[in-house]
Structure 1
Amino acid sequence: MTRTLLTAVFVASSLLATTALAQSGSSQTYKLKQDAPSTGTSIVRTLVTSSLPLDRPYAELSEEHKASLRSLYVDMPRDDQPPFPLKGLGVLYDNIRKGAGAFRATGQLSLLVLVGADGEASQVEILLAPDPDFGRFAASIAMLTKYKPGVCSGQPCAMEFPVRGEFGKR
Structure 2
Amino acid sequence: ILITVEGDLSESDTAKGTYTIENFDTRVFTVNISNRVGNSVDVKIFDRFGLIYEGSYIPTILINNNGNLYMEEPRITFTNSGGDTFYEDYKISYSHIVSTALRDNVYMRGNWVFLLYATLVISILIIDINWPLFLFNMRYGHAVKKAEPSDRYLAAQKISRIIYPIVAIIFLIASLS
Q: State the TM-score, normalizing by the size of structure 2.
A: 0.25
Bigger Rg, structure 1 or 2: 2
| Larger RCO of the pair (alpha carbons < 8 Å, separation 6+) | 1
